[in-house]
Amino acid sequence: MSLVATKRDGAVSIVTLSRDEKLNALSGELERDLGAALGSDDVRSSACVVLTGAGRAFSAGADITEFRERTPEAVIAYYLETGGVYERVAALPQPTLSAIHGYCLGGGLELALTTDFRIADETAVFGFPWSARSSSRGTSRSCRHWPRRSRSGRSTSCRKHRARPES
């Protein structure tokens, strides 16, 4: 069974991360399934692509349990193998939108930043958890997408941020 579901609503393709028992944590399998979904007829022939997550979160970020037994070289190989899917989302010719609810952290936030637009509900929580631990710097995908995608062009603090509804 695929960890990414696609469906059409008229001319709009809805791509859903479907690993809700793990808050849509980004595993190698999920990223490969996302790559396959991006190549599907539903997505390629659509006028717009909406990316969202099933259940309680958009995505809680990378599934770090996959890295426990890996060597540093294996982790690098993993990012080289799966990182292209983020670039493929950014390169889609049609407008892309992230519909965000719940957690949108780390790699999940990096994924959301690759879309043209991001819409968040009042439950959305954004952040880069690795910076709070002062451990790694993530994958640097966010560095490539944030400045050109952010309205202000500035990076924000790496603490978690709650979405605020417009008044």
Q: Residue 108 is part of a domain; what is its CATH number? A: 3.90.226.10
Q: Is residue 56 part of a domain?
A: yes
Residue 157 inside a domain? The answer is yes
pLDDT at position 77 is 84
- The total of structural domains in the chain comes to 1
Is residue 41 within a helix (H) or strand (E), and if so which, with residue range?
A: helix 41-44
**Could you tell me the end-to-end alpha-carbon distance of the chain, in angstroms, rounded to an integer?**
42
CB 50, CB 97: distance < 8 Å: yes
Q: Is residue 16 part of a domain?
A: yes
142 within domain boundaries? yes
10 belongs to a structural domain: yes
Q: Indicate if the pLDDT at residue 125 is higher than 50.
A: yes
| Structural domain for 143, as ranges | 4-162
- Considering only 17-26, 40-49, 62-71, 89-98, which range has the smallest mean pLDDT? 62-71
pTM for this prediction: 0.79
Per-residue confidence band for 161, with pLDDT thresholds at 50, 70 and 90: low
Q: Is residue 167 part of a domain?
A: no
